[in-house]
Structures are given as structure tokens and as C-alpha cells.
Amino acid sequence: MTTTEKGSGPLSGLRILDIATIIAGPMAGSLMADFGAEVVKLELPGVGDGLRGFPPFKENKSLWWKVTNRGKRHGTLDLRKPDGAKLFLELVAQSDVLIENFRPGTLARWGLDIDTLWKANPKLVVLRVSGYGQDGPNATQPGFARIFEAMGGLTHITGDPDRAPVHTGYPLADSIGGIFGAFSICAALLKVKLSDKDEGEEIDLALTEAVLRTLESLAIEYDQLGDVRERVGNKNTYSAPSDVYMTADKRYVSLAGSTNRTFRYNATAIGQPELVDDERFATNAARVAHTAELDRIFGGWIASHSLEEVLAAFHKANGTIAPIYSIDQIFEDAQFKARNAIVPVEDEDFGEVRMQGLVPRFRNAPGEIRWAAKSLGADNDYIYNRLLNLTEQEIEKYREQEIL
């Protein structure tokens, strides 16, 4: 592995170059940074990553930006210029991973094709994030999370059956891509480490395919049964009772549970343990067939009790129900507090900001969030002086040429 300024965590000692923009690729990099990798994020001078322009804002600073690019070193570089490409290849030579999400063929047009990258560093792992993959009829088409969710099958099954399909209101496809990206980098690095060949890896991550992969049973269901999954609202196609219900004090809860044991616990919670002896509810398949009746029974009981009463009864019976939280309620929840799921992080603009902690947790090498994402080019001196040993005069010359 490359010699780096070591962070804390199992990926300490890795160096990653992140030239990706917006969410999926940068999120993959931030996940790696969380667990110790030194991630050097390079942006176009004077322009920067488009995510810097995403709301919400505080004092004209994007708060979203501070999370998605946390823990990274922030530099600027114009790869399109020959001298910029030269500096870039010098950084590639001392890195383990490159993350990019340009349209397929873009880096090659700038003289940075895969063979050139591997000539600079034969063991380099390159993660290419795109909407549709590096080949196929849609390869060069632009895309955003909603496009990937729509074409990947997620949107079609989301929402009520008598209404238009619904997007979640958050770009889940990008987050899904970030997780797949971090996983694939780790898998590739393991292969490179264990191989006796001087050989890197090129990863082709299509975000539309990543969304489809998360939908597990949809493809085999259609292939083997000819069934096309449709929208069922808040109900569940594989267990019952399973829905969203309103309490007497106008709060929402979500009920789940597919096993006979959890049904027994849930029936006990609403004071009707005898339901387990009813042949209509004896098995999960039988319960699914009688969803409407179970909704009437459970929904009626929940509607006549306050949220506090509902949660207390289900907790006592070991039932499987949860309040539907907004973010302010997450901040106040005892379980999240006990787990430090929201943590304070050092920030150059606001001193300290709070955001999600590390997921998952490691016992022996837990990782850390070193800082929230920084301003454009904040670490240029570190990158070009300490990593590439450029003098202050050389750095200033590149700045004047708008390469940095």
C-alpha cells in the first residue's frame, strides 16, 4: 500500500484519488475516508464539484457538501491541460485507487486512458461510476438518481396502487451506488494485494444496475412466475399484518413481522393472543391472504391508543413496531443517543457540525471522521508540496496558469 498520512481505521495506509462529482462516487470515497484511507479529492479550479451548489445552505455554504466529502483532503487540478494531466499522473503513481464518474471515454480523450493510468501505476484500482455502465446503447447518456431509480425498477413498485409511482424525495440511487462503490474498491484491493501479478483493476459500476441489484427477488419472480411486481402502498407483499397505522394522537407507526413467533408477540401486544389459533392466521401465507382482516384488527386497536401506549404495549410483548421518525426525533431518540449515531465533527466554517457517525462499527480499528468537507482547494499546499514536493514558486506558477 501507498505511504500516506495515516488515519484511524482498517483502511489506514491507503491513498485514494477522488475526481468524481455530486454524490455516488464521492460518497464511496467518504466511506473509505471514514475507515482510515487518505482520500485526496481534486476539483476543477474556480468551479468545483457541483454538489457545492446543492441546498440546504447556511451562510451560502452547502451543508450537504460537508457530509458527502467529509474526511478528505481538498485540492484543485485541471486535468484537461497537459501540465495538469502530468501532475495528475504523478499523484496516480503514488495512489492505490482512482474514483471517477465522467461520461465513458472522457478521461481517454484527455490522454488519461486506462493504459496510461496503469503505465503510471500498474496496481492502480480504478472505480468508474456511471449511470448505465461503460458500454451499451445508453453508455454516454447523462443521468441522475431519479433516472436510475426509474429505470432500475425501484420507482415502479413505490407508492399506492391507484396513483402514480413515487420517488422517495432523496437520491437513494446515489447512496446505493456509493455503498456498492466502496465495497467494490475493497474487493478489488484485496485481489491486488493477494495477487503475485503487477496488475490493477478497473471497476465498471452502473448505478441503474446497482438499483436493480438491491431489488433481490424482482427478476427471479418475473423469470420463473411471469409476475410483475406492482405498487401496494405501505403494505407488504410477503407478510401481514404489515402497514403504516395512525395512533389516537395522530402519530404514525410501522408494523412488521413475518414469522409465527412475531405474530404471536404482536397479537399479544394488542390483547388478542387468541388470534394465533385462528386458522386464517396460522401461517404467514394464510395471514397474507387475509391482510384486510388483520389491518382492521390491528389498525383499529392502534387507532384507539396513543403512541406512548402503543409502543409500551408492543415493547412489553416483544412486538415488532416502530414510530415513524422525522430527523428531529432521531436526534432525541434514546437508542440513537446510546449508540452515538449522530456525532459532532470539526468544521472550518461553523466550528462543529453534527452528522451521522460511522457505519458499521469495528471493535479493533473503529475509524473516525477527521473533519467535515472543506473549501475549494483547501489542501493544495499539502497535496502539491508534501505529496509531490513542489516548491511554493512552482505551485504559484500553476495557480497563475489556472491549472491549480
* Number of CB atoms found within 10 A of residue 60's CB: 6
Domain limits, the chain: 15-214+340-400, 252-323
Q: State which amino acid sits at residue 293.
A: E
Three-state secondary structure of 338-349: HCCCEEEEEECC
Give residue-wise pLDDT tens across range 238-255: 899 999 999 999 999 999
CATH topology of domain 252-323: formyl-coa transferase, domain 3 (3.30.1540)
Model confidence at 41: pLDDT above 60: yes
Q: Cα–Cα distance between 296 and 280 in angstroms, integer?
A: 14
Give residue-wise pLDDT tens across range 309-334: 999 999 999 999 999 999 999 999 99
Question: What value does the mean pLDDT take over residues 285-311?
Answer: 97
Model confidence at 2: pLDDT above 90: no
Q: Is the dihedral of CA 97, 100, 104, 108 positive or negative?
A: negative
Distances (CA, A) of 276 to 88, 190, 280, 318: 66, 49, 9, 15
Q: Cα–Cα distance between 209 and 177 in angstroms, integer?
A: 9
Counts of helices then strands in the chain (DSSP H, E):
17, 13
Q: DSSP letter for 56, please.
A: P
Residue 8 pLDDT grade (very low, low, confident, very high; cuts 50, 70, 90):
confident
Helix (H) or strand (E) holding 32: helix 24-34
Q: Do domains 15-214+340-400 and 252-323 have the same CATH topology?
A: no
pLDDT at 236: 86
Q: Hunting for cell 455530486 — which residue is that? A: 22
pLDDT at 193: 93
Give residue-wise pLDDT tens across range 98-119: 999 999 999 999 999 999 999 9
- How large a percentage of the chain has pLDDT more than 70? 99
Q: State which amino acid sits at residue 46.
A: G
pLDDT at 390: 96
Residue 16 pLDDT grade (very low, low, confident, very high; cuts 50, 70, 90):
very high
Q: State which amino acid sits at residue 329.
A: Q
Give buried/exposed letters for 240-268 (b at 16+ CB in 10 A, else e): bbbbebebeeebebebbbbeeebbbbbbb
Q: Cα–Cα distance between 150 and 173 in angstroms, integer?
A: 10
What value does the CA radius of gyration of the chain take, rounded to a whole number of Å? Answer: 25
Q: Are 28 and 127 in contact (CB under 8 A)?
A: yes
Distances (CA, A) of 367 to 9, 10, 364: 4, 7, 9
Q: Is 174 labeled as catalytic in the residue annotation?
A: yes
Model confidence at 5: pLDDT above 70: no
Q: Cα–Cα distance between 292 and 239 in angstroms, integer?
A: 12
Average pLDDT along the chain: 96
Quick one: cell of 57? 445552505
Q: Sort strands 252-255 and 244-246 into parallel, antiparallel or unpaired.
A: antiparallel
Q: Are 30 and 72 in contact (CB under 8 A)?
A: yes
CATH topology of domain 15-214+340-400: Rossmann fold (3.40.50)
Give residue-wise pLDDT tens across range 205-230: 999 999 999 999 999 999 999 999 99
Give residue-wise pLDDT tens across range 56-79: 999 999 999 999 999 999 999 999
Residue 6 pLDDT grade (very low, low, confident, very high; cuts 50, 70, 90):
low
pLDDT at 22: 96
Query: Under 8 Å CB-to-CB from 196, ≥6 apart: which residues?
Result: none
Q: Are 300 and 292 in contact (CB under 8 A)?
A: no
* Number of CB atoms found within 10 A of residue 209's CB: 18
Query: Under 8 Å CB-to-CB from 125, ≥6 apart: which residues?
Result: 96, 97, 98, 185, 188, 189, 192, 200, 201, 202, 203
Single out the residue of 20, 103, 107 nearest to residue 69, CA to CA: 20
- How large a percentage of the chain has pLDDT more than 90? 96
Q: Are 256 and 284 in contact (CB under 8 A)?
A: no
Q: Which of 34, 96, 174, 379 is catalytic?
A: 174
Q: Cα–Cα distance between 8 and 28 in angstroms, integer?
A: 17
* Number of CB atoms found within 10 A of residue 227's CB: 11
Give the three-state DSSP class for 172: helix
Q: Cα–Cα distance between 33 and 373 in angstroms, integer?
A: 11
